[in-house]
Chains A and B, each alone.
Chain A
Amino acid sequence: MTWSLLGDALAIFFALCGMFFMFVGAVGIVRFPDAYNRLHASSKCSTLGVMGLALAAVFHVGTLAVTTKAIMTIVFALVAAPVGSHMLAKAAHLNGLKPWDRQLSDELQQDKERREGKSPCNAPRGMAASPQSRPARRDPGSDPTARISAAV
């Protein structure tokens, strides 16, 4: 009796947490300004939400089959959500997704242009003119030009 009471209390707690974070993820998808920020909400919140709900199932039902499948679901969510968001962000950047106006710098775009030897007039709108757009100059140790030219 005590065990089922404790299990139900934990199940209520984890189910509430999981559903709250899932809902927050959905709200973040609607509210955030561009696709990268939306990917933040999508990957983190769906991982923790699925984790909380699976733990609620474990604590309420508690049989071996449910525990095994819940652990499998948690591990799959932990691996799949970051990989999916990574691939989506990479494809979106490859496709030339226009970043948010308030984005401070885009060093991936700078490196791509440097690698292709393009002139800076091809830079996306409003990005190259920002005074903070070349922060790599501040720490010369992390300048990738040498390594990239050596690789090419």
Chain B
Amino acid sequence: MNGSVLSMLSLAHGPAPALAAAASPLQPALFLTLEIGAVLAIVGMMLCLYRMVRGPHLADRVLSGDTLAYQVVGLVILLTVRMESTTYLDGALVVAIIGFASTLAFSQYIGNLNRRSNA
């Protein structure tokens, strides 16, 4: 666990003790998959940030923020699988809801912007 990508994101170290006895022989492969997935999610977040900085229109920035929220959701679910813990999934749901609400708020803002400038 030391030196892996997911360990930098979590305060807890090592697998959960409850399920450690029932570990299947595929567990190292699964953990390797999770590390690759975390790297992919972080690269994807960087791509979203690039579009957020670069975006020619306000809608581009907002949609990159939406996708960034979903990448964070994916990262938190990876952490759930790695830690075999229930608590992280609540975090994933909360991030998804906040991302959705912020998208709705920003799209209302974009729509109202036009009306105000026309009036």
Residue ranges of A at the interface with B (Cβ–Cβ < 8 Å): 1, 4-5, 7-9, 11-12, 15-16, 18-20, 22-23, 25-27, 29-30, 35, 38-39, 42, 46, 49-50, 53-54, 56-57, 60-61, 63, 65-66, 69-70, 72-73, 76-77, 80-81, 83-85, 87-92, 94-98
Contact = CB atoms under 8 A, between A and B. Distances in A.
Given A5-B24, A15-B81, A29 B47 contact: yes
Interface residues on B, range: 35 or more
A15 B6 CA distance: 15
A49 B70 contact: yes
Q: Secondary structure of the B side of the interface? A: helix
9 contacts: A8-B26, A19-B41, A26-B67, A35-B60, A46-B70, A46-B71, A73-B89, A77-B96, A88-B62
Contact of B77 (A20, A42, A56): A56
Contacts of A39: 63
A8 B24 contact: yes
Contacts of A72: 93
A144 B36 CA distance: 51
